[in-house]
Amino acid sequence: MKIKGVGEKVADCILLFGFDRGEAFPKDVWIKRVMRNIYGERFDEKLFGKDAGIIQQWMFNYARLNPDKFTDTD
């Protein structure tokens, strides 16, 4: 994240998709909405362990297919 423009989300994407680090859990606006609306404010994605990245993809897909459930403003 020392490179300009690379924040936590991009770094997690690189770890997950580029380096096969399944525990990486990129958080964009859609994932944050799912986490807040389904799991609550105090949710810890580390509970998913080595499968966090694939679960994040399922969460993202669900949110994008059901935007009416996740349209709150951030």
Give me the catalytic one of 9, 46, 50, 69: 9
Asked if 9 is an active-site residue, the reply is yes
Residues 71, 47: Cα–Cα separation, whole Å = 26
- Dihedral-angle region of residue 40 (phi above 0 means left; psi in -120 to 50 means alpha; beta otherwise): left
Could you tell me if 9 and 28 are in contact, meaning their C-beta atoms sit under 8 angstroms apart?
yes
Q: Which residues are catalytic?
A: 9
